[in-house]
Amino acid sequence: MPALALSTGNLFSAVQPGGSLFGLQESNPVNIDVAYGGDATNYGTASDPMVGGKIGGINVFGGGLALYNASGKIAGGVGVSGDSSCADHFVAWVTRALLKLDNVRAGVNNGTDNIVYDITNGASPSGWGHPQCSTASTIAASFLTKVWPTGAHQ
């Protein structure tokens, strides 16, 4: 959202039962015909069933970020998956910074959409918390906004 940036990592607590966005992940199901249709040998080619289709779906774990141009307008998104959701968030964050599409105007974590580690006793006081994946990833998150602050290249 242009006025309130949310990473997919920010959605974890909000989509849990009792959370402000509970059920969100069910509101836009993946179109399985687009995602998995056709002959697999066509995937990644001009005949890929995703060409011209909308896959849909909402991801509620770390690794997805909106891309914001120099004017702060949404220019697309980046999604990373392949490790823990915390590591995926970090890779997406640095990728967005390197692309210079990190002009976040406002977010739920001190004006950014960085992952929030505030879950204690099963609850996130902010409502935007994500479980800690490891001690190292928690430490790394604290450095993201220092080493790769949003919009720092301007």
In contact, 113 and 5? CB cutoff 8 Å: yes
Write down the pLDDT at residue 153: 55
Residue 151 has a pLDDT of: 66
Neighbours of 4 (CB within 10 A): 12
Q: Give tens-digit pLDDT for 102-125.
A: 999 899 988 899 999 999 998 999
Please tell me the predicted confidence (pLDDT) of residue 21: 86
Work out the percent of the chain whose per-residue pLDDT is above 70: 95
Q: With a cut of 70, say whether residue 152 has pLDDT above it.
A: no
Residue 65's contacts (CB-CB under 8 Å, 6 or more residues apart) are 7, 8, 77, 78, 79, 89, 92, 93, 96, 113
Rounded-to-integer distance, Cα 147 and Cα 152, Å: 9
pLDDT of residue 53: 87
Query: Mean of the pLDDT values across residues 61-65?
Result: 84
Start-to-end C-alpha separation, the chain: 21
Q: Which residue has the higher pLDDT, 47 or 55?
A: 47
Q: Which of 3, 15, 1 is nearest to 128 (CA)?
A: 15
Q: What does the pLDDT average to over 45-54?
A: 89
Instruction: Kindly report, residue by residue over 131-151, the tens digit of the pLDDT.
Output: 999 888 878 877 877 877 776
- Every domain of the chain and the residues it spans: 8-21+61-147
Strand ranges (E), the chain: 64-68, 74-79
Residue 140: in which H helix or E strand, if any? helix 135-147
Calculate mean pLDDT across residues 35-50.
89
Computed over every residue of the chain, the mean pLDDT equals 87
Contact by Cβ (8 Å): 29, 64: no
Using the Cα atoms of residue 16, residue 21, residue 25 and residue 29 in order, give the sign of their dihedral: positive
